[in-house]
Amino acid sequence: MERSIILTNEQIQNKTRRIAYQIYETNSNEKEIVIAGINGNGFVFAKKIVEILNEISEIKVVLCEVKIDKKNPIKEISTSIPSSEYKNKPLVLVDDVLSSGTTLIYGIKHFLEVPLKRFKTAVLINRNHKKYPVKADFKGISLSTSMQEHINVVFEKNNSYAVLE
């Protein structure tokens, strides 16, 4: 199977920085914002966004890990912080790749049980294969791929990349 690099380390850094700026612009009048990354690569991507937000803004940024069973997302979802810490605050749910929307929609469902001030989503790669009516408010790149193709994002310290397989 042919592998092709769709994002280089530099492109991922640039897209992450752009998303962080967009999140900052959307929340520039806030004192605090919650960045909730879906376990695995979504959480790694969320941490990268948080690093940049801390660099470019005075807003207090709270990082939260969202634990979802991606094979069976209907199972109970938990977060690394109690719901009282994101109640009535702006929250951005982050994942690396949006394919069918299954993981994101169940993540959204979890956060709908608590009143939020504002709710947005961010992904590095949007694949446009929606099974659910969920969209990425902030996205690094949109790709039209076939269902047979797989996108793999690899986050390494100085050599992150995304490949289409």
Please, which contacts does 66-73 make with residues 24 or more away whose CB atoms are closer than 8 Å? Answer: 66/36, 66/37, 66/38, 66/39, 66/42, 66/93, 66/107, 66/110, 67/39, 68/38, 68/39, 68/103, 68/106, 68/107, 68/110, 70/40, 70/103, 73/102, 73/103, 73/106
Q: Give domain limits for the chain.
A: 10-142
Mean pLDDT of the chain: 93
pLDDT score at 1: 54
Helix (H) or strand (E) holding 84: none
Fold of 10-142: Rossmann fold (3.40.50)
pLDDT tens for 20-47 read: 999 999 999 999 999 999 999 999 999 9
Q: What is the mean pLDDT of residues 57-66?
A: 97
Neighbour count for residue 70 (Cβ, 10 Å): 13
pLDDT tens for 74-110 read: 899 999 999 999 999 999 999 999 988 899 999 999 9
